[in-house]
Amino acid sequence: LDPDPDELGTLGGGQATRAIHPWFGVALIVSFALLFVRFWRLNIPNKDDVEWSKRIGDVVTNREDRLPELGKYNVGQKGVFWGQSALILIMFFTG
């Protein structure tokens, strides 16, 4: 016999989970907003990012001496930052 998930008592069961869920969402959006404010300037794409992307072969073959200086984050990291920002906003507004 498989137990009913609401009867397992995880986080207090279904009622407690439904009550806690919105608060986790608020904590997520507040903590991410603080990180966003701190890091958004470092993640603005620039012309060096385009050049770095064109030389992806040098990245893969570890010829970093041929690559432009990017600063703190590379194109992939900046893409993850902006993608995560968009997805968190979508998740927040859609519930």
pLDDT of 5: 58
pLDDT digits (tens, 9 = 90+) for 15-63: 888 888 889 888 989 999 999 999 999 999 988 888 888 888 877 788 8
Tokens describing residue 23 = 């608060």
pLDDT of 79: 94
Q: What is the DSSP string of 18-83?
A: HHHHHHHHHHHHHHHHHHHHHHTGGG---HHHHHHHHTHHHHHTT-GGGSPP--S--HHHHHHHHH
DSSP E strand stretches across 19-92: none
pTM above 0.85, yes or no: no
pLDDT of 31: 94
How large is the average pLDDT for residues 80-84? 96
Could you tell me the CA-to-CA distances from 26 to 16, 17, 22, 23, 30 in Å, in that order?
16, 15, 6, 5, 6
